[in-house]
Structure 1
Amino acid sequence: MESWEEGIDCCSWAGVTCDRMGRDVIGLDLSDSGLQGTIPSNSSLFHLSHLQWLNLSFNNFSPSPISSGFGQFGKLKYLNLSRSQFSGQVPLELSYLSKLTSLDLSGNTEVSIGKSVMDRLVQNLTKLRELHLDKVKMSTVLPSSLMNLSSSLTSLTLFGCGLQGRLPDNIFRLPNLRVLTLNGNSKLIGVFPTANWSSPLRVLGICHMHFLGELPKSIGNLRYLTHLGLVNCNFNGPIPASLGNLTQLTFLDLSFNNFRDEIPSSLSNLKVLSFLNLKSNNLRGKLPPSLSSLKALSYMDFQSNNLSGTIPVSFGGLTKVMYFCLSSNNFTGQIPSSLSKLEDLTYLDLANNNFVESLPRKNLVYLNLHANMLQGRLLVPPPSIGVFVISNNYLIGEIPSSICNLSSLQVLDLSLQ
């Protein structure tokens, strides 16, 4: 460390925090400091017996294992070793840190936790409020071991850990849990509570897991949720109308499931929603015009369903929308001219439908109208266009010469395939 000079009080060094008396080092933040090499168990680091806060994240300690010496920090409350290229097994000695409130080992893809070590961590670290183990290998850990996690937990992230088996539903009932992400554990089987489910959860991400049956109505009890990601979880049945109770949602992704029936109009209650993805389900019926009341929406994707009817004219009032995709459905009629009012709209994909007329303009960068029923002469897209696909339609006449003036155009497809 450049600022660490001999003869200068170490309490004034960058990243070092001392107690009020200026005698003992109680905090050490060496995150993203370009550190390299191994940390042996006899390192002088482990002589800092009063340390309460240690952050070594975003360094390169490859091929060093996580040293058993970390277990000597009996007063440690915060330990962050994330994304520092550690390897090997998590040592049992970490379970000695009984005062820990935050443990982050995430992003160390060559680190693994054995069943016995995980059991001891759960048993001994009863004060944990944050536990982040994303990308740490946990294939030998039984999901049932998570039943005894600290009731103090506020944040639990286990993204892509290779967990497998049946997830106990009590993990969704932890009384103080606000963030839960289990994304990317494709062999993990889950079931949501169906009754008496209330929770302070703000963020729930369980994408690419395997759930059984329908999404229960009880999901509507999680009234503090701001982020709900349920991508590719094998849910079927209708989208529960109770989702309309989640009025603090800003992000909703239900894509790549088997939801059927109509889009519930109750989603129009989600007034602060900015991201809505219902792509690749079996939804049918029309787009509810009431969705036009979602004035905060910037992203809408309804691709690859069985939706039909026309685009509601009132969607022209969604003035913050930047991304809008309806491809691979059964929509018909005109593309409403009201969409031309959407000045922030840059991505519009209406391919593989049965639209017959009109072409929205303004500030589009991407426009895909492939395989519709568009007729008449080719209209020139706006100067901002970068990708313009209008193949497999019923256009006539010559290609306007002005299309050559589109200086941002990179892809142009007018073909009949």
Structure 2
Amino acid sequence: MASYLFLCLFRFFPHLYASFSSSASHSCSSLAQFKNSFSINQTKFAALYCDHIAGLKSYPKTNSWKEGTDCCSWDGVTCDHLNAHVIALDLSCCWLHDNFPSNTTLFLLPHLQKLNLAYNDFNLSKIPSEFGRFTSLFYLNLSHTGFAGQVPSQVSHLSKLVSLDISSSIYDYEKFTIDKHALEGLVHNLSEVRHLFLDGMDMSSVNAHVFMNLSSSLRSLSLAYCDLQGKFPKNIFDLPNLNLLNLGSNPILSLDPLKLNRSSNLEHLDLSSMSFSTEFIDSVDNLQALKYLDLSGHFFSQRLSVSKTKSGYLFTGDANFFGGLPGSMGNLVSLKFLDLSYSNLSGTVPRSLGNLLQLTHLDLSGNQFSGQIPSSILNLTQLEYLKISENSLEGSIPDE
């Protein structure tokens, strides 16, 4: 029916057809030239991240980009069929390799609303300031692309962004950097942002209070490995829609004691390798929606008490608790993944671990546990992974 209406419009308004055809031709030409700017090469970088870490299949999407064919049918390309404008481009994991030209014809596609270039290798190119031209963008993903250097302030002008990902990892070649004013502009201008991923960006010159005024619409905030310093603003924990918060591996970033809100929607909380007090941890049990909790890399000078929660995952590897594992750990009855490896724990393994009937992964290795392995471990019928090596435990895993 839609195709019939298009034919009718073009028959009675031929100038519309001419405009439609011209727009499509221009977009296809721009995309073809963009493709020709790069070599297509499956690097180890793409294979590692896409196929093994991100769980995405990497393949050369641009092989389907044949000149003389309709680019709206090309792999990774989405068009607005009313006017043939290219509005979305997903070129993630498609083996693009080489320097990213600042005058690329990609910037001749002003109607783009969604752009994903993740998991390619742009050979330590700078992020061109021309990305600021995409004023209609609501989704931008430049993560793990081999870009390097300063994040241009023009990115903060993309005020319609709902999702921004410029993250990298410790395995990437070089960190992005961002100055205080550019980051302030980003926080201030992205008033609609719901998902903000800036992992691996060098923010050593920035004070964490800059994030105080983030949008109340925020659902995901990930700032791992950013070298953040100062005190992280408390109000972020009160954002009504926040589901994911990752502040891991910011060793000089601190958190003031606060009472976490029972009405919080937080499901994923990563505070690994950070500095905060035991009082903060003891209020984690208020996070009733929590499914994933990573507290690894800490040194607590007091015992950790654990109350019953709906947590699904708890990581405390390398946490260095003083003394034994509290029996109250058995109250976390919704846990699916429990990692207490290399946490300087001693004493006996509490029988209450047998209450964690949902566990599929249990790692108690690298501690100083002694005594017998409790028979209650046989209650863990869902268990797929068990590691208890590098302890002083006696006997073997009990038989049924």
Interval of TM-score (by shorter of Structure 1 and Structure 2): 0.7 to 0.9
Q: Specify which of 307, 332, 357 is matched with residue 270 of structure 1.
A: 332
Distance 1:306 1:36 in 2: 49
**Offset, 1:251:** 1.7
Q: Show the 5 A alignment for 1:59-208.
A: 59-107=120-168, 109-194=174-259, 196=261, 198-208=263-273
**Offset, 1:326:** 5.9
Distance 1:81 1:274 in 2: 32
RMSD (Å) for aligned C-alpha atoms: 2.3
Larger radius of gyration: 1
Report if aligned partners of 1:157, 1:182 keep a CA contact under 8 Å in 2.
Answer: yes
Gaps of 5+ in 2: 1-61
For 1:139, the aligned partner's letter is S
**Offset, 1:139:** 1.1
Report if aligned partners of 1:278, 1:301 keep a CA contact under 8 Å in 2.
Answer: yes
Distance 2:319 2:301 in 1: 7
Query: What is residue 104 of structure 2 aligned with on the other side?
Result: 43
**Offset, 1:283:** 4.6
TM-score w.r.t. structure 1 length?
Answer: 0.74
Distance 2:180 2:289 in 1: 33
For 1:310, the aligned partner's letter is Q
Identity of aligned residues (%): 43
Query: What is residue 70 of structure 2 aligned with on the other side?
Result: 9
Residues 103-124 of structure 1 deviation map (CA, whole Å, 9 limit, x = unaligned): 1111163321111100100000
Residues 241-287 of structure 1 deviation map (CA, whole Å, 9 limit, x = unaligned): 32x2x22x232122333434553333323334232223344555543
Are positions 1:288 and 2:347 aligned together? no
Are positions 1:339 and 2:395 aligned together? no
Distance 2:196 2:252 in 1: 21
SS at match of 2:240: coil
Distance 1:33 1:314 in 2: 49
Report if aligned partners of 1:194, 1:216 keep a CA contact under 8 Å in 2.
Answer: no
**Larger relative helix fraction:** 2
Residues 56-103 of structure 1 deviation map (CA, whole Å, 9 limit, x = unaligned): 111111232111111011110000111110111100100110000011
Q: Specify which of 324, 333, 343 is matched with residue 387 of structure 2.
A: 324
Residues 178-218 of structure 1 deviation map (CA, whole Å, 9 limit, x = unaligned): 11111111221223422646421111111111223444432
Query: What is residue 7 of structure 2 aligned with on the other side?
Result: none
**Offset, 1:160:** 0.9
Distance 1:214 1:302, change over 3 A: farther
Residues 337-384 of structure 1 deviation map (CA, whole Å, 9 limit, x = unaligned): x6245xxxxxxxxxxxxxxxxxxxxxxxxxxxxxxxxxxxxxxxxxxx
261-270 or 227-236: which moved more?
261-270
Gaps of 5+ in 1: 342-417
Q: Specify which of 52, 66, 85 is matched with residue 24 of structure 1.
A: 85
Q: Show the 5 A alignment for 1:383-394.
A: none
Q: Structure with the greater relative contact order (CA < 8 A, sep ≥ 6): 1 or 2?
A: 2
Distance 2:388 2:233 in 1: 37
**Larger relative strand fraction:** 1
For 1:339, the aligned partner's letter is P
Report if aligned partners of 2:166, 2:199 keep a CA contact under 8 Å in 1.
Answer: yes
Are positions 1:52 and 2:113 aligned together? yes
SS at match of 2:89: strand
